[in-house]
Structure formats: C-alpha cells, structure tokens
C-alpha cells in the first residue's frame, strides 16, 4: 500500500480520509496541502497528518498517492498541475473525491500521464463542510464509485479499489457518464429540491417574522431542508459541471409537481379521498423498496 500520501484540501472529505487512513495504516506519512496551511495545525496536533504545506508549493517527490478533495473546478486545475509536475513519480497515482466525474476526465484525458489519474467519488458526507466536521465514520460502509477512463490500466484500478476497501468502503466501478447521470438524480437533485424548498418557504412566509414561524417548524421541515445548508462553493461547481443531467431531472420533477397539483385539485373537486390514498400508497410502496 502507499507509504507517502498527499491530501490536497483537508476539508470534510479530505479530513475524513486522513483520519481513517491513519487509523488503518499507522506508518503512512500524510502531508496536507491547503490555501491557508496555518488552519491545518489542529489536524497536525491530533496526529491525523504528519505535515502541512501551502497548496502553492506541492512537493511531488516520493509521493505515492495524491488525494484531491477540493471543489470540482479547483480539482481540475490541481490534477492538471500534478500531472504536469516533472517530479511526479511514474508509479504515483492521483485520485479525487469530486461529485462530478466526466468533466474532470475530459480535462486530463489528452495528457500524456492521464493514466495516473483515477476518478473516484465517495458517496459519503453531509451538508457540513470543513475539517472540523470530518470523521472517519462517514466512510465506514459508504459506497465509493470508481470511474476508470480509457487510459487507466487494470492494475492501477485494482490498487485504488484496495485503498478504498482499506478505509472500509464498498466499491462500485462504472463509467463517468453513468456516474454523472445517476448522481444527478440521487444526490444533486435532492440538494436542489432542498434549496428550492427553503427558498419557497421564505417567499411564502415573507410577511411573517421568523420568531412567529418557529413554533410551526417540525422535524419534517428540518429533514427536508437539511441539505440546503451545504457549501455554496462546492455546489456551484457541481451544478455547473453536471448541468445537462440535472436539468433533465428537473424537467421530470416539474412535470411531477404539475401532475400532483392536478391530482389534488381533481380529488378536492370530486371529494375523492380514494384517489389521493391510491397515489400515496403507490409512492409509499416505492419508498419501502428503497428503504428496505
Ligand atoms: P469542504 O469544503 O469540507 O473541503 C474542501 C477543501 O478544499 C477545504 O480544505 C478548502 O479549503 C479547499 N478548497 C476550497 N476551494 C479551494 C480552491 N479553490 N483551491 C484549493 N483548495 C480549495 O468540502 P468537502 O465536502 O470535503 O468536498 C470536497 C470534494 O468532495 C468536492 O469535490 C465534493 O464535490 C466532494 N464530495 C463532497 C461530499 C459531501 O457530502 N460534502 C460527498 C462526496 C464528495
């Protein structure tokens, strides 16, 4: 396994990887790179990393594995600069954690060292961001999607698969196009719905004082709007880079909203409680399938 690891972006995901990696492979040497290395001293004190340095001075010498865990647009620039670095070992691998995969691959595929980059997406995390919220447990049992591209070789994919398995993750391997299409509906769509729910809620209640609304807010509302608290920086990159898939999902959603509005209008007009009950039963059956 890797002896010298560099993590670029020691936030929620980078920090969680550092914690789990140190737990599983104590002799590994981890250097964390950040825009403000002085902010990473806590991680150094806690012993989850061995060194900190500025992102502007990445030392590629001897590094076996680079983990790029920054928002996706910045990851693209960082991965390119690592591949360009003359000190990058020929055996070194670069992985990322980005929530969008095809645009990253497109941006490096013509590079002569493109085979050294393996796209990864840990399906772990939360609406929180930053190292403070990192924990090794978010990786335990989480799926990691690995998206090999045409220049990768099977041995490197096998090594990266083993790496994530060491961190107690489950692996799914697929192409980047499939990944981006799937996460548009399973991850990006819920984030947007949560955000729009929050926005509409404020528009609907614009005449009310927040303190007057508070007694009416239950757990359901908090559950449904939790994701809206996610990092705007991270989400802007994701939405921009996966816009086509996200827009397709939203088109479907808008149609569903129109249909349910019509259903409610019709049921109310005809006092047809059964029609509503049938609708909720159908959806509940689907819900049970996914939550079993
Ligand atoms: P985070 O905000 O907690 O951490 C991001 C890190 O990148 C921070 O250390 C930040 O200082 C650094 N950073 C931000 N902008 C930068 C820039 N322009 N240049 C260099 N460094 C920069 O975010 P996170 O949740 O750890 O997300 C990191 C990556 O993992 C993203 O690509 C995201 O799409 C992906 N991801 C996030 C989640 C999640 O639920 N949060 C889940 C899976 C994958």
Hey, is 27 helix, strand or coil?
coil
Residue where one domain finishes, among candidates 115, 149, 175: 175
pLDDT over threshold 90, residue 282: yes
The answer to whether residues 154 and 190 belong to one domain is no
Q: From the CA of 12, how far away is ligand 1's center (Å)?
A: 7
Tell me how many domains the chain contains: 2
- Gap from CA of 98 to ligand 1 centroid (Å): 8
| CATH number of the domain within which 275 lies | 1.10.3660.10
Residues 134 and 105 in one domain: yes
- Residues 8-58 pLDDT 10s: 999 999 999 999 999 999 999 999 999 999 999 999 999 999 999 999 999
* pTM score of the predicted model: 0.96
Q: Does residue 130 sit in the same domain as residue 198?
A: no
Using one digit for the tens of pLDDT, what is the confidence trace for 210-269? Answer: 899 999 999 999 999 999 999 999 999 999 999 999 999 999 999 999 999 999 999 999
Q: pLDDT digit string (tens) for 59-113?
A: 999 999 999 999 999 999 999 999 999 999 999 999 999 999 999 999 999 999 9
Q: What is the pLDDT of residue 138?
A: 96
The pLDDT confidence band at residue 1, using thresholds 50, 70 and 90, is: confident
Domain containing 159 — which CATH number?
A: 3.40.50.720
Distance from C-alpha of 23 to C-alpha of 87, rounded to nearest angstrom: 29
> Are residues 24 and 162 both part of a single domain?
yes
Last residue of a domain, one of 126, 149, 175: 175
| Whether residue 223 is found in the same domain as residue 282 | yes
Q: What percent of the chain has pLDDT over 90?
A: 98
Q: Which atom of ligand 1 is nearest to the CA of 126?
A: 40
Same domain (yes/no): 85, 196: no
Q: Which of 134, 55, 77, 69 is nearest to 98 (CA)?
A: 69
Instruction: Tell me which residues have their CB closer than 6 angstroms to ligand 1.
Output: 9-14, 34-35, 55, 69-72, 74-75, 97-99, 121-122, 124-126, 129-130, 231, 234, 238
Which ligand 1 atom is the nearest neighbour of the CA of 123? 43
Residue nearest to atom 33 of ligand 1 (CA): 98
- Among 175, 193, 213, where does a domain finish? 175
Taking the CA of residue 10 as reference, the ligand 1 atom at the shortest distance is 9
Contact by Cβ (8 Å): 147, 121: yes
Q: Are residue 217 and residue 85 in the same domain, yes or no?
A: no
pLDDT of residue 291: 86
β-bridge pairing 143-147 and 117-122? antiparallel
Alpha carbon nearest to ligand 1 atom 18, residue: 74
- 154 and 13 assigned to the same domain: yes
Rounded Cα distance between 104 and 101, Å, is 5
User: 196 and 167 share a domain?
Assistant: no
Q: Ligand 1, from 6, 7, 12: best to mutate by most atoms within 8 Å of Cβ? A: 12
Distance 70 CA to ligand 1 centre (A): 4
Whole-number Å distance between alpha carbons of 113 and 90: 8
Instruction: Output the CA 288–ligand 1 centroid distance in Å.
Output: 33
Residues 62 and 161 in one domain: yes
Q: Residue 161: which domain range?
A: 4-175
| Residues 150 and 189 reside in one and the same domain | no
> Minimal CA–CA distance to 158: which of 93, 86, 241, 204?
93
Co-location of 153 and 275 in the same domain: no
């Amino acid at each position: 396994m890797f002896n010298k690891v560099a993590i670029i972006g020691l936030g929620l995901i980078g920090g969680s990887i550092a914690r789990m990696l140190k737990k599983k492979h104590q002799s590994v040497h981890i250097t964390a790179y950040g825009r403000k290395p002085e902010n990473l001293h806590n991680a150094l004190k806690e012993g989850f990393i061995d060194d900190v340095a500025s992102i502007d001075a990445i030392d590629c010498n001897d590094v076996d594995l680079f983990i790029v865990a920054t928002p996706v647009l910045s990851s693209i620039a960082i991965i390119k600069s690592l591949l360009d670095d003359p000190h990058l070992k020929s055996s070194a691998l670069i992985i990322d954690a980005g929530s969008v995969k095809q645009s990253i691959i497109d941006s490096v595929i013509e590079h002569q060292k493109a085979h050294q980059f393996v796209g990864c997406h840990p399906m772990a995390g939360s609406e929180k961001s930053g190292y403070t919220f990192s924990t090794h447990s978010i990786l335990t049992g989480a799926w990691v999607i690995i998206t090999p591209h045409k220049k990768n070789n099977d041995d490197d994919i096998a090594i990266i698969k083993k790496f994530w398995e060491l961190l107690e993750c489950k692996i799914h391997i697929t192409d980047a196009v499939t990944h981006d299409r799937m996460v548009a509906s399973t991850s990006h769509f819920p984030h947007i719905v949560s955000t729009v729910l929050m926005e509409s809620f404020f528009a609907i209640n614009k005449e009310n004082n927040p303190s007057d609304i508070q007694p009416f807010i239950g757990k359901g509302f908090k559950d449904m709007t939790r994701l809206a608290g996610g990092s705007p920086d991270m989400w802007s990159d994701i939405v921009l880079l996966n816009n086509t898939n996200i827009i397709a999902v939203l088109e479907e959603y808008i149609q569903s909203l129109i249909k349910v509005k019509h259903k409610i209008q019709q049921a109310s007009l005809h006092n047809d409680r059964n029609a509503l009950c049938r609708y909720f039963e159908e959806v509940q059956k689907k819900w049970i399938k996914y939550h079993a």
